[in-house]
Amino acid sequence: MWKRHLLFLISCLAGFSALGANLLRTDRVRTPRHFHSEQATATGLSDVVDRIDGEFESVWAASGLQQAPKAPSLQIVRRLALGLMGTVPSLEEIRALQLVPPDQQIDWWLSRVFEDRRYADYIAERLARAYVGTEDGPFLLFRRRRFVSWISDQLHEGKTGYGELVSHIIADQGLWTDKPSVNFVTVTSDQNRDGNPPDPIRLAARTTRAFLGVRIDCLQCHDDRLGKVALGTATEPREGTQIDFHELAAFFGGVGNNGLTGIRDEPSAAKDRYRTRLLHAENEQIVEPRVPFQRELWREEGTLRQQLAAWVTHVENRAFARMAVNRVWALMFGKPLVQPIDDIPLFGPFPPGLESLADDFVANGYDLRRLIRLIAHSEVFQADSRAAFELQPMHEDLWAVFPLIRLRPEQVAGSVLQAASLNTIDAQSNILWQLLKFGQQNDFVQAYGDMGEDEFTDRGGTIPQRLLMMNGDLIKERTEQNIVLNASSRIALFAPDHRTAIESAYLAVLTRRPSSTEAAHFEAEFAEARTAADRLQAVEDLYWTLMNSTEFLWNH
């Protein structure tokens, strides 16, 4: 019997030894398939980035502002991971990145992100919030999960430009289960009316806000009397009127909802399908479809929704390109270039960078990945959040320093779960890890508080949120001693010395190495750990401390 026990013990020790040897392996992180060392120069990004940088530098010079220095590469990588995947990088990803030449690390990391399903899934969810909101929608007629998954598939495959994606969302026909894009329409279905027709008014408001960054839904009930909505043309701008909104809504007036075939455009008398009673009018009137601005781009070809989609995504419809740039900027920084995100003036003035980014976006077929690369390489995005000079609110307002932005609930949860694992939790992970992450993240977000659709409004942290971090189950379970699940235990057992253990914890949680002061402090603490149990506790305490730090909860 004792021989069996000895054999079992030897097997366990061998397994743990192998685990220790593989603690910081990097061979699981493959070089991105579409990465090459001269990416920025070969694709013409450098010239565009220089032009954007010059625009911001001119504004800073005119305002007498100093610019913050460039941030460390790992800090930039953390921003990209949070903004594009909703999580911090894993320790194994960081170790692999350190083998890449410093001047290639940002492009290497972006190439890896674009090939990772986490990017497509995260951005799809964020876009869906603007397109269909966060609610479940009408029972049976709306499949939000299918809509998000469809967007994710388009982003992951990278074959569909943003213009084509939006065209499908606005104009597609079919059953919401088989044609996921039509859920943009079915989410507005009125189940209290025969045939469950979609709501043209809600669809018009969503279309202008989500895809054009123009708020004309205030015109639904009355003309613009405060000079807030300027429509018309660049040479002849005018105040918006009530009829402008309803003419746009009329594009959705001919949409039918059939239980067998789904969303269908009704060709017969489609222009007569939309009626409304304007302010001070006695009776309803038929409203024919017409776009509210840049009418010279509108072509009456195809169904009404196809006409609308073609006009919205037209290469000369600057509002579409500007809105896309503003949304991608907001995802990457945590706040939009123009605030509010869906209220960009048609005729300016525009902040530096917006028009140049929009020009390139149009010229390159509405390529989201190229747009992201441009922003990532800009001085603004790579600027530090700290500086040797006194920072004033104007530095953040004019982007002379990277803005400090509180992490979203799913970013906090995703970062906790990833930091607690040495290996990357992605689509290639064991299904049990993926299910564990899905369940724990959803529970945490529900308790922490989802931000809903209004996701770029600055909201302060709350006492319950801090208590959830300090005393909640997620942090406790992901930092406690558990050799199978938790990185803190594996680091404590297999790091060759205290310095390596401390550095590994800092890299896994904060995506940086400790400062000399921090390292000295924790090395002194660890020196008191006399046994393996003491060291396990010391690393657990360090992990808990770092996850509850202000630095962990902010993008910077």
The answer to whether position 202 is within a domain reads: yes
3-state helix, strand, coil in the chain (%, to 5): 55, 5, 40
The answer to whether position 411 is within a domain reads: yes
Which range is most confident: 27-36, 189-198, 341-350? 341-350
CB 230 within 8 A of CB 347: yes
Asked whether residue 291 falls in the same domain as residue 433, the answer is no
pLDDT of residue 274: 81
Give the total number of structural domains in the chain. Answer: 2
CA distance 338 to 264: 36
In the three-class reduction of DSSP (H, G, I as helix; E, B as strand; rest coil), residue 389 is classed as coil
The answer to whether position 499 is within a domain reads: yes
pLDDT of residue 361: 97
Tokens linked to 218: 């205030």
Last residue of a domain, one of 312, 346, 374: 312
Ramachandran area for residue 389 (φ above 0: left; ψ -120 to 50: alpha; else beta): beta
Residue 479 Cα distances to 258, 484, 537, angstroms: 52, 12, 10
Of 195-204, 272-281, 514-523, the poorest mean pLDDT is in 272-281
CA distance 235 to 485: 64
> Which one-letter amino acid corresponds to residue 8?
F
Last residue of a domain, one of 256, 291, 312: 312
pLDDT exceeds 70 at position 21? no
Query: Per residue in 386-404, pLDDT tens?
Result: 999 999 999 999 999 999 9
Asked whether residue 166 falls in the same domain as residue 298, the answer is yes
Max alpha carbon distance in the chain (Å)? 97
Asked whether residue 543 falls in the same domain as residue 417, the answer is yes
The answer to whether position 137 is within a domain reads: no
The answer to whether position 291 is within a domain reads: yes
Contacts 24+ apart (CB under 8 A), 352-355: 352/52, 352/55, 352/56, 352/58, 352/59, 353/52, 353/55, 353/56, 353/378, 353/380, 354/322, 354/325, 354/326, 355/322
The answer to whether position 72 is within a domain reads: no
Phi, psi of 454 (to 5 degrees): -80, 65
Question: Angle, to 10 degrees, between the axis of helix 318-333 and the axis of helix 368-377?
Answer: 50
> Which one-letter amino acid corresponds to residue 51?
R
The answer to whether position 533 is within a domain reads: yes
Of 308-312, 478-482, 541-545, the poorest mean pLDDT is in 478-482
The answer to whether position 341 is within a domain reads: no
pLDDT exceeds 60 at position 185? yes
Q: What is the mean pLDDT of residues 368-381?
A: 97
Last residue of a domain, one of 250, 285, 312: 312
pLDDT of residue 468: 80
Domain that holds residue 189: 160-312
pLDDT exceeds 80 at position 76? yes
Compare 139 and 121 and report the one with higher pLDDT: 121
Q: Which residues pair with 70 in a beta bridge?
A: 383
Compare 244 and 62 and report the one with higher pLDDT: 62
Asked whether residue 416 falls in the same domain as residue 300, the answer is no
Q: What is the mean pLDDT of residues 373-380?
A: 97
Asked whether residue 307 falls in the same domain as residue 408, the answer is no
Query: Per residue in 287-316, pLDDT tens?
Result: 889 999 899 999 999 999 999 999 999 999
pLDDT exceeds 60 at position 15? no
Of 152-156, 193-197, 227-231, 481-485, the poorest mean pLDDT is in 227-231
Asked whether residue 423 falls in the same domain as residue 535, the answer is yes
